[in-house]
Structure 1
Amino acid sequence: MTEALITSLTIFVLAAFVGYYVITKIPPTLHTPLMSGTNAISGIIILGALVVAGASDDTLSEIVALIAVVLGAV
C-alpha cells in the first residue's frame, strides 16, 4: 500500500470515530436541523466518490470509490 492510501484510510477511520462520538452527544431538539446538513454532506461525499471513480486508473481506487458511494448513500 502506498503512503497516501494509508494516510487516507487513517483519516477516514478517525473521522468515523469522531462522527460517531459527536452524533451520540446531539440533543433531540437539534436532530432535524443537523440532519439536513448531514444530507448535504452525504451528497458531497457521493459526488466526490463518483468523480474519483471516473478518473481512476486502477481497480483499488474504483473499489474505494464504490465503498464511498455506498456509505454516502446510507
Structure 2
Amino acid sequence: MESFYLSQIDGVYVIALSIFIGIEVIKNVPAVLHTPLMSGANAISGIIVIGGIIQLLTTPLSNIPATIIASLAVVIGIINVSGGFFVTHRMLAMFSKPKKK
C-alpha cells in the first residue's frame, strides 16, 4: 500500500493556490459579512490553540523542535484570537446605536 507523500514543490503549489483562493474569497465578501467572517477565523484560531496545547501535553520535553513549534502555535494563536475578538468588538460597536446620556 502506497503512503500519501507530498514533495516540497507540491507543498508550494498548495500554499500558492490557498493564498490565491483566500484573497479572492475575502475580496468578494460584502462588507456586511466581514464580522461573521472574523468570528469564523477566531474559531479556527481557537482550534489551532487547542491543537498546540494537546501537542504540548503529549510531546516529551526531550523533543525540543516539536515543543518549540507547538509553543509558538499556542502563543501566535492566542495573539490572533485576542486581536480578532478586539477587532470584531470594534466592528460591532460601529453598528450599534449611540447611548443616550
TM range (shorter): 0.5 to 0.7
Number of equivalenced pairs: 67
Match of 1:68 among 59, 70, 73: 73
> What is the RMSD computed on CA atoms of the aligned residues?
3.1
- TM-score when scaled to structure 2? 0.50
Q: CA deviation at 1:21?
A: 2.3
- For residue 36 of structure 2, what is the aligned residue in structure 1? 33
* % identical equivalent positions: 39
- The structure showing larger relative contact order (alpha-carbon pairs under 8 Å, at least 6 residues apart) is 2
Query: Deviations 1:17-73 (Å, cap 9, x if unpaired)?
Result: 358625751332211011111111111110000000111120111110011112212
Structure 1 residues 48, 18: closer, same or farther in 2, change over 3 A? farther
Q: What are structure 2's unaligned runs of at least 5 residues?
A: 1-6, 81-101
- TM-score when scaled to structure 1? 0.65
Greater helix content? 1
